[in-house]
Structure 1
Amino acid sequence: MLWKLLTDARDTSVGVTPTHFAVIFDYSSKTFRKEIYDAYKANRSAPPEELVPQFGLIRQATRAFNLPCIETEGFEADDIIATYARQAEATGADVTIVSSDKDLMQLVTPMVHMYDSMKDKQISVPDVVEKWGVAPEKMIDLQALVGDSVDNVPGIPGIGPKTAAQLLEEFGDLETLLSRAGEIKQVKRRESIIAFAEQARLSRRLVELRTDVPLELELDALVLEPQNGPKLIGFLKAMNFGTLTRRVATACDCNADEIEAADVEVEWGGAARGPDLDAGEAAKADTGETAAAAPVERAVSTVAKVTGEATPVSFAEARIAAFGQAKLDMENYVTIRDVEVLDDWIRAARETGFVAFDTETNSLDPMQAELVGFSLAIADNTDSPSGLEVRAAYVPLTHKTGVGDLLGGGLAENQMASREALDRLKPLLEDPTVLKVAQNLKFDYLVMKRHGITVQAHDDTMLMSYVLEAGKANHGMDALSERWLNHKPIAFKDVAGSGKSGVTFDYVDIEKATAYAAEDADVTLRLWMVLKPQLAAAGLTRVYERLERPLVSVLADMEERGITIDRQILSRLSGELAQKAAAFEDEIYALAGEKFTIGSPKQLGDILFGKMGLPGGAKTKTGQWSTSASVLEDLAATGHDLPRKIVDWRQLTKLKSTYTDALPGYVHPQTKRVHTSYSLASTTTGRLSSSEPNLQNIPVRNAEGRKIRTAFIATPGHKLLSADYSQIELRVLAHVADIPQLRQAFADGIDIHAMTASEMFGVPVEGMSSEVRRRAKAINFGIIYGISAFGLANQLSIDRSEAGDYIKRYFERFPGIKDYMEQTKAFAREHGYVETIFGRRSHYPDIKSSNPSMRAFNERAAINAPIQGSAADVIRRAMIGMEPALKEAGLDEKVRMLLQVHDELIFEVEDAAIEEAIPLIVSTMEEATMPAVSMRVPLKVDARAAANWDEAH
């Protein structure tokens, strides 16, 4: 943000540019306001422990940007800003305060503006009047009446902003109001204002900003100096700001490679002076003396009492212990039925800075679900891990009357109008300064997006759990609640029924709905309190922040866009598949010597192993013969025709039922497109999965699968663009195992499978037969998945001994791969998990199982996870970086990312933008690992545009 402000400030081409610039800080929590009112800011939440060392760093950053870094003991930053603003205004200067804080709005005049950098919006006199109902000069009186729970300014109980604005409009100013309070008609309001008149006067003294702060640097000393490129680059390199370093180097015409990282000292403990911890208090912290006025110390002290030490781990443990014992107070759940109450909750959410949010709908399809209501949960006291109080509420919007066959009896009484409630909710959900916490946020994000609301600044407890325990635990809310909170939530069936007697949520009684929905928000907020510190304690915050949280909005937007299909193509394909399946059925009956139900495992087992006596038969626990795909594949590999025909018949009928018959049913009635749903937390390795419909399992290696892809088409004036990573998992293997031969082959652009065949079998690449290359390809990919000699023998239709020789020879030619596999297994046995190149963890708790089969399975999975998981992380990073790259190039309206299918991204691109889009998409994907990881082998992406998916692939 600072770099953007300064870039704009120094851009003389835009017209008026600022001549003076400064960054203002709070010195400490001890100011003149504490002397006036000791409880001022006494309820401030403690900053996270890991934030405290950054107070010093942010000051160093300011100086690195060649800016004045200003703070004055005894005064808040706002007072210093007010003093400079009034001095500058007196000289005739225009002033811009970079903030959206209401406390500073009292300073706004025709010559003093505010700038909300998060929303890129100027705030002038009319904006203050529109938002608060009073002119800026009356903001002090308004705040004195309303108070501020964040700063612990008392105000007058029961007076909100609207009421305060009305009173000031009627009486003019605070003193006039207080002196004429007896004229107020509303009894309760009159009595309250009379009773708390002195409290209002005190509040006015607290909120009024000082404009006479003694300044060490005069206004003239704040002249905006040129940027010192080497100094800033040195600091940025020390902080590992890769992208920003490159931007600064370009703007300052510096060679970043020639500039050493600065020696930046990170201040810990007593040296870290922050907004609520000054130098004197920090010294007391070092000696163990408690400073009652320092929330930072209070939080650290609380953790220390629980654990005996103050570290991220101990803080996380304290949270786990506290919330595992705390009980949910469901008696206090509130049903919000009117605007004023909702406004109070929204105001409390803003003051707290975070709120749990959940939607209730009548369907699990976010693209078609109707919003029935929403719930909120707020933490009113977060000073101590063991003293948290959570309150929750439900806002019913479209609950209906009627039971059983009488469903559809109209709206239930006493609910807020949906539009009115959403208009109130929209600014909160779109406010980047208030954190929204949800469980499986993508669903709520899509529901809100359909109502014109784009949720910003969010956390997802499901994804936090996924980052912490992928492969180890269930990440659903109920399971997490029982695991971390020792609380079993209300089951959906307990409020909506099940089976024939079940109803959708819009027919649930509002009282029951409140208990269920408010509990969801309450549980979600508590889970966030428990899981968030664990990310820091486990060193996994960067995984969550860089690979999970940003992907929520990316996937939601893709799902919302959907993709067009050609129903006629699917109808024709369905007929063709039906004919082919019928032909297979005739052949199957002839081979079996009788007709039977091919889709019946029992009848098929009786034919194969009972009547025909084929080898390898095994019965399941139910006493039936097993006819699983692996059993049939094994039989087909040994030369039996009937099992092969059964496998082929199953593939055809599955394609018909799953795709050609089913896909038209997924076409959205309004958009006329198919909208799949992606799951971020369903695999152990980080790969995404797709459902309703599943578009990731359409076969690409057989003719029928490719024909199905021809039905996915671009709209007129557009093409579908497929961008696919080439052999990414082998490239990742070459990187992590550091295999010289593979690295060199990829660097030289050599056919990796031909190179492997040449290395293993001593065959020259030129003139190599396709069969030899196919065997090398099977081994290359099989090794990644920990293939056994038995598996490779089946795949290549060779003897097991020959397959074993291939694998042995492979490891002899590429010994680094064997070393990698053994090291990975050892690491997994010791830690219970493995890691991708970006630090994502996949857990394998059964890798020490006494069951040899289970243990071997976990070992193979553990070997594969860093490879497959790293590839999954690469494409996640590419997807997260794609939208900003398109926007920066001005292509965001012409290029839309629609689908992700394993290593492939599918876009819909305007015809005129294809030539510009392809190189941008390719470079974004090929450079996706940077700057976090510099790959030892280059990534390669193949991209092509065509009228349909098959032609583009």
Structure 2
Amino acid sequence: MSNNHLYLVDGSGYIFRAYHRLPPLTNRKGEPAGAVYGFTTMLWRLVDELHTSDGPTHLAVILDASSHTFRNDMYAEYKAHRPPPPEDLVPQFPVIREATRAFSVPCIETVGLEADDIIACYAKAALAEGWKVTIVSSDKDLMQLIEPGLDMLDTMNNRRLGADYVQEKFGVTPGQLGDVLALMGDAVDNVPGVPGIGPKTASLLIQEHGNLEAVLAAADTIKKPKLRQSLIDHADAARLSRELVRLACHHPLPEPLADLALKGIPPAPLRAFLEDQGFKSLLLKVTDGHVIGEPVPPPAPVATDEPAFVHKDYECVVTEEALDRWIAEATAVGTIAIDTETDHIDSMRATLVGVSMAIAPGKACYIPIGHVGDGLLSEVPTQLPREVVLDRLRPLFTDPTVLKIGQNLKYDLVVLRRAGVDVTPADDTMILSYDLDAGLRNHGMDDLCKVHLSHDTISFKSICGTGKAQITFDKVPLPQATEYAAEDADVTLRLWRRLKPRLAAEAATQVYETVDRRLVTVVAEMERAGIKVDRAELSRLSAEFATQIAVLEGQVHEAAGGPFTIGSPKQLGEVLFDRMGLKGGRKGKSGVYSTDVTELERLAAEGVPMARLVLEWRQLSKLKSTYTDALQAQINPETGRVHTSFSLAVAQTGRLSSTDPNLQNIPIRTEMGRRIRDAFVAEEGKVLLAADYSQIELRLAAHMADVPQLRAAFANGDDIHSLTAQELFGEVNRDTRGKAKTINFAILYGISSFGLAGRLGTDRIEAQAMIDRYFDRFPGVKTYMADTIAEVRAKGYVTTLFGRKTHLPGIRGKTVGERQSAERQAVNAPIQGTSADIIKRAMVRVGPQLELAGLRTVRMLLQVHDELVFELDPSEVDAASAVIRDVMAGAAEPAVTLSVPLGVEIGTGKSWGAAH
């Protein structure tokens, strides 16, 4: 057996992975380069790192030369339905070929053959010479080639694929896989297959009969009539499909096997290519004389001055001398990462257990202050007294010359503030990531660490356990606690070193510095403040809801002809569409009928009383479980108030969201929803003030789409929905105004004629006519939508007026549905995102302005959608209202000057509901 090991890279798969993985980028010449950069990075890792384990001796990248191959001559419709590649990807194809050659790696393609065929030819030739072969791909068609001596490498999931994988996934051997593929067909490549046969059935047939011809020969004996007839009727299509999926492995090799020898990466051509493209970060990794096969570790995907993670090097600080040394070094460095460890996930109920700091990559410590023994007989570990540590840290954490960095810093700010420690100035890596990459990934530390540092953090469950055996962090032994906590600070510092420099380069400085960074402290104080709820009122509502739910349940059972579990979608679907025989039921992949809100509203509109009863039952059940019951349990025993947690980096458009409780989803247009708001009350002697932007998204649409009629209406204080009704229907009455209101908001969400028809209860043709009339009367809106969709198609993201980016990778999705969904999101995201930016700017400014006005006791408690809620003395209402209205109305300036005024409605009362 030869020692040669040939790696064959499915270049097309690499290219499309790179394209969809990264946001749109341009090179220094302004040309599209996202796929080029991603492909270059992926190939580099493959070429320069594999030799450390299962290293290749020979390697080639295989590409498709053209779209027309011998299969098109065999079947004209082959791949006929595949959409053309994205416009900005096409010019990157030749540059990717240049990139491959810059690594001195053969780049092979042959006119008339697909890349899979070329790979098959080289694989068979190498195996015949006694070589080992690895195909770098996860393409199911290539799995037909797996045999002893040949495996596949799935770099996406970092795993090797062999015959056992094929057996597990498809139920057959690699040699039988082509027969399975022929039966099931392939919609993407337009391989016809046999109608009605999916992967499972195809696998069972081949398992039973051995191969395709045997299946077709036995078609007459198959018991299922539909399957039997389909096999008989489509036998020719099955045989054609078998030839289409068969890999052509006997063509002459374009280049001899010997010419694929991997000799290393000569730095000169690679450096020239990277300089030409302007890939500065990759240029830093080029070192003269570095070649494959040298006994050196692969370059880690981190900055050149950063050491690897060595957890045993982290220090557990248990003496005052050590603490003073770390504080002195932190002060001298001027930039430190901090993190807190506690015994509870709720920052308002958590006890501070310890603090970690990192002053340089790899240089971090943990300072325990609240650890206890794990059990009655275990000793409390040696640690510094809590107040000694806090007294020493307090000056450092407020030192204006030392920047503190945190990940999801809001949590730490609340915990530390409750301990009497403020933190300023500060950066938050979660917010940095959010402002740079919203829509592309999650922004939690573990995910960011994997993406940016290629490192898996120590998991919480690995040191605290899970389920009933889980312990709180204060019971974790100090050695393990130190490694876990110090790693968090270390990771946070390393992330900051990568993310902060990107702000200016990617035009994200304004939104981070003027909006989100300052908001972290503001929201932390809102969470600390919380809001009082009337427990007795909640209890009354729960009892009332329970009675109404029971009545509705009886009515549903009567309408259904017998009892069943209403909360079970499976049972509900069976009752509606099987027992009651209603038409239009649709089953999902699991075989269960859909009973979502859209389906029930359809049935209700068709005159099915039970559907409306179930909708009412669901709403009341949700209000009871989510609010009237849960809110009572969420009252903090120490403060007597409910402290919701605001999420700063979840909603793609920049909006805040909240959990425990979720205040964003309390229905405000129903009587029951309003009664829940009545249970949110002011403290004794105080009142609540609610300040709400009036129709802010419509106002922003009038400005951003440049619609003169709408701008004038807002400037004059006219009713915008009446104006739209007059423009669309020629008259204003309750019916036309209601339709106009629906259309005004629906258009901003890029609604389709089908969707609008559903909302208005009309047919699709009439709905489309309304949309057309709207665009005819307000052409600026149509132009805005077209321009925005063109922008997201070109860039992969859209921006707010303040420069916030919302990435929408679905715009390059594989299905029409994905792309259309991204287009609808793109239409609304700049408007909704700008609205979010404006209220955030108001939140940041209102506190200092209230203080300047001498209104220091006014507290901002909540932000819900376009509304801010404050608690204050009744005597301060007039003065505070004037300040709040002025701040909110002018929040966009000076960064953005709007052509429409921002209306602010203010109300006060003893409860949140009464303030409206």
The interval holding the TM-score normalised by the smaller chain is: 0.5 to 0.7
1:657 and 1:356 map into 2 onto residues whose CA distance is 40
> 1:439 matched to which residue of 2?
407
SS at 2:500 equivalent:
helix
1:686 and 1:317 map into 2 onto residues whose CA distance is 34
> 1:412 matched to which residue of 2?
380
> 1:535 matched to which residue of 2?
503
* Residue 335 (structure 1) aligned with residue 316 (structure 2): yes
Counterpart pick for 2:473 among 505, 515, 518: 505
Counterpart pick for 1:836 among 800, 804, 816: 800
SS at 1:372 equivalent:
strand
2:833 and 2:762 map into 1 onto residues whose CA distance is 31
Structure 1 residue 314 displacement after superposition: 4.0
Structure 1 residue 331 displacement after superposition: 2.6
Q: Deviations over 1:86-142 (max 9, x none)?
A: xxxxxxxxxxxxxxxxxxxxxxxxxxxxxxxxxxxxxxxxxxxxxxxxxxxxxxxxx
1:516 and 1:305 map into 2 onto residues whose CA distance is 43
Structure 1 residue 409 displacement after superposition: 5.1
2:273 and 2:878 map into 1 onto residues whose CA distance is 61
> 2:649 matched to which residue of 1?
681
Residue correspondence of structure 1 range 779-798 to structure 2 within 5 A: 779-798=743-762
8 Å contact from structure 1 (residues 366, 446) kept in 2: yes
8 Å contact from structure 1 (residues 400, 507) kept in 2: yes
SS at 1:488 equivalent:
coil
Structure 1 residue 330 displacement after superposition: 2.1
In structure 2, relative to structure 1, the CA distance for the partners of 1:608 and 1:310 (3 Å cut) is closer
> 1:565 matched to which residue of 2?
533
2:274 and 2:825 map into 1 onto residues whose CA distance is 37
Counterpart pick for 2:450 among 477, 482, 486: 482
SS at 2:871 equivalent:
strand
Structure 1 residue 941 displacement after superposition: 0.2
> 1:876 matched to which residue of 2?
840
TM-score by length of 1: 0.65
In structure 2, relative to structure 1, the CA distance for the partners of 1:419 and 1:861 (3 Å cut) is same
Counterpart pick for 1:349 among 327, 330, 334: 330
Residue correspondence of structure 1 range 213-612 to structure 2 within 5 A: 314=280, 322-323=302-303, 326-379=307-360, 389-402=361-374, 407=375, 412-612=380-580
> 1:923 matched to which residue of 2?
886
SS at 2:822 equivalent:
helix
Structure 1 residue 616 displacement after superposition: 2.5
* Residue 809 (structure 1) aligned with residue 777 (structure 2): no
Structure 1 residue 308 displacement after superposition: 5.6
SS at 1:949 equivalent:
coil
Counterpart pick for 2:700 among 702, 720, 732: 732
In structure 2, relative to structure 1, the CA distance for the partners of 1:317 and 1:482 (3 Å cut) is farther
Structure 1 residue 634 displacement after superposition: 2.2
SS at 2:365 equivalent:
strand
Structure 1 residue 318 displacement after superposition: 5.6
Q: Which amino acid aligns with 2:583?
A: P
> 2:863 matched to which residue of 1?
900
| Number of matched pairs | 631
Q: Deviations over 1:182-213 (max 9, x none)?
A: xxxxxxxxxxxxxxxxxxxxxxxxxxxxxxxx
1:698 and 1:316 map into 2 onto residues whose CA distance is 49
Aligned CA RMSD, in angstroms, stands at 2.0
In structure 2, relative to structure 1, the CA distance for the partners of 1:580 and 1:317 (3 Å cut) is farther
Q: Deviations over 1:411-461 (max 9, x none)?
A: 622111111111111111111211001100000000000001111100000
8 Å contact from structure 1 (residues 307, 318) kept in 2: no
2:814 and 2:642 map into 1 onto residues whose CA distance is 46
Counterpart pick for 2:669 among 673, 696, 701: 701
Counterpart pick for 1:859 among 817, 823, 829: 823
8 Å contact from structure 1 (residues 478, 488) kept in 2: yes
Q: Deviations over 1:527-556 (max 9, x none)?
A: 000111111211211111111110000000
SS at 2:587 equivalent:
coil
> 1:777 matched to which residue of 2?
741
8 Å contact from structure 1 (residues 838, 873) kept in 2: yes
> 2:591 matched to which residue of 1?
623
1:848 and 1:858 map into 2 onto residues whose CA distance is 9
Q: Deviations over 1:36-63 (max 9, x none)?
A: xxxxxxxxxxxxxxxxxxxxxxxxxxxx
2:747 and 2:882 map into 1 onto residues whose CA distance is 33
Structure 1 residue 322 displacement after superposition: 3.8
Q: Which amino acid aligns with 1:428?
A: L
1:923 and 1:520 map into 2 onto residues whose CA distance is 42
- Unmatched 5+ stretches in structure 1: 1-303, 380-388
Higher mean alpha-carbon deviation, 579-588 vs 839-848, is at 579-588
In structure 2, relative to structure 1, the CA distance for the partners of 1:522 and 1:318 (3 Å cut) is farther
Structure 1 residue 371 displacement after superposition: 1.0
SS at 2:914 equivalent:
helix
Percent identical among aligned pairs is: 51
> 1:7 matched to which residue of 2?
none
2:542 and 2:377 map into 1 onto residues whose CA distance is 41
SS at 2:303 equivalent:
helix
Q: Deviations over 1:211-250 (max 9, x none)?
A: xxxxxxxxxxxxxxxxxxxxxxxxxxxxxxxxxxxxxxxx
In structure 2, relative to structure 1, the CA distance for the partners of 1:409 and 1:793 (3 Å cut) is farther
Q: Which amino acid aligns with 1:351?
A: A
2:426 and 2:838 map into 1 onto residues whose CA distance is 23
Q: Deviations over 1:695-714 (max 9, x none)?
A: 12111100001011111111
8 Å contact from structure 1 (residues 306, 318) kept in 2: no
1:637 and 1:342 map into 2 onto residues whose CA distance is 69
Structure 1 residue 326 displacement after superposition: 4.8
8 Å contact from structure 2 (residues 353, 473) kept in 1: yes
Counterpart pick for 1:751 among 700, 712, 719: 719
Structure 1 residue 636 displacement after superposition: 1.8
In structure 2, relative to structure 1, the CA distance for the partners of 1:411 and 1:867 (3 Å cut) is farther
In structure 2, relative to structure 1, the CA distance for the partners of 1:454 and 1:409 (3 Å cut) is farther
Higher mean alpha-carbon deviation, 823-832 vs 847-856, is at 847-856
- Unmatched 5+ stretches in structure 2: 1-270, 286-299
8 Å contact from structure 1 (residues 563, 898) kept in 2: yes
> 1:910 matched to which residue of 2?
873
1:718 and 1:806 map into 2 onto residues whose CA distance is 48
Q: Deviations over 1:375-432 (max 9, x none)?
A: 11012xxxxxxxxx53011111122212xxxx45576221111111111111111112
In structure 2, relative to structure 1, the CA distance for the partners of 1:748 and 1:409 (3 Å cut) is farther
8 Å contact from structure 1 (residues 398, 411) kept in 2: no
8 Å contact from structure 2 (residues 366, 486) kept in 1: yes
Q: Which amino acid aligns with 1:540?
A: A
Q: Which amino acid aligns with 2:348?
A: M
Higher mean alpha-carbon deviation, 361-370 vs 633-642, is at 633-642
TM-score by length of 2: 0.67
8 Å contact from structure 1 (residues 724, 903) kept in 2: yes
Structure 1 residue 821 displacement after superposition: 0.5
Q: Which amino acid aligns with 1:323?
A: A
2:272 and 2:869 map into 1 onto residues whose CA distance is 54
Higher mean alpha-carbon deviation, 722-731 vs 910-919, is at 910-919
Structure 1 residue 621 displacement after superposition: 2.5
